Chains A and B, each alone.
Chain A
Amino acid sequence: NAGVTQTPKFRILKIGQSMTLQCAQDMNHNYMYWYRQDPGMGLKLIYYSVGAGITDKGEVPNGYNVSRSTTEDFPLRLELAAPSQTSVYFCASSYPEGSGRDNEQFFGPGTRLTVL
C-alpha cells in the first residue's frame, strides 16, 4: 500500500511554461485535495474532488486546473507558470464525509516547484 504518491519531487520552470503535477492514491479514497504551502502561511486549498468527474475550487484556484477521470488520480495543471506559483504542493486524500472514516487526510510527500 503506497498511500499517496506525487511526482515529480522537484521542478524548476521558466515563466510561461506549463506542467502537470501528478498525484495518485491506492486507498480507494473518494476525496482528494491539492494544497500549496508557503512559508509562514500554512496550507492553502487549491482544488478538491469528491469523486471521479467532480472537482471544485478551493481557496486559491487561480492559475491552476484539475481533472479527476479516475478514483486514483488527481493531476494538477499549471498552464502559464508565474513566480507567484513558487511553492511546495501537497496532494491529500480521505474517505468521504459520513463514511465513519472520513476525518483524517493522508498526505503525499510534496512537490517543490520553483518558477524563475
Chain B
Amino acid sequence: AQSVAQPEDQVNVAEGNPLTVKCTYSVSGNPYLFWYVQYPNRGLQFLLKYITGDNLVKGSYGFEAEFNKSQTSFHLKKPSALVSDSALYFCAVRPYYGGATNKLIFGTGTLLAVQP
C-alpha cells in the first residue's frame, strides 16, 4: 500500500537551533513530495516540493528538504528555528498512477514546538 510516515508526533527544539522533521514514504514509481504547514485554526499552506532534479529543495520561510531515494525519505530542515515556526507540519506524496489524477497522500502530521 502507498503511504507516508511521519514517525514523530512532536518535535521540540530551542529557538536558534537547527530543526529536522522526518518523513518517509512508500509509493510506486517516481513520487512527487510535498511539505505543508498548518497554523492553529488555519488551512494548510504549501512550503516546498520535490519533483525532480536537485535532491535539496528550498521553500518558504527558510525551510528546505532533502530527498533521499535510497532511504525513501524527505526530511524537512531549517538551520535556525524561530518561535513563529511552531505549527503542525504535514508531509505528502503524490503517487504516479499514470492517469489523470493529482491526489495527495498525507502523513499524520508532526507538531513542531520551538521554545524561546
Chain A: residues with CB nearer than 8 A to chain B? 4, 31, 33, 35, 40-45, 48, 50, 58, 90, 92, 94, 96-98, 102-110
Contacts and interface: CB of A to CB of B under 8 A. Distances in A.
Interface of B: 9, 32, 34, 36, 41-46, 49, 51, 90, 94, 100-104, 106-109
Contacts of A45: 103-104
9 contacts: A94-B102, A96-B100, A97-B100, A97-B102, A103-B94, A104-B34, A104-B46, A107-B45, A109-B43
Contacts of B103: 33, 45, 48, 58
Closest 3 CB pairs of A and B: A107-B43, A42-B108, A42-B106
B106 A109 contact: no
A45 B51 CA distance: 22
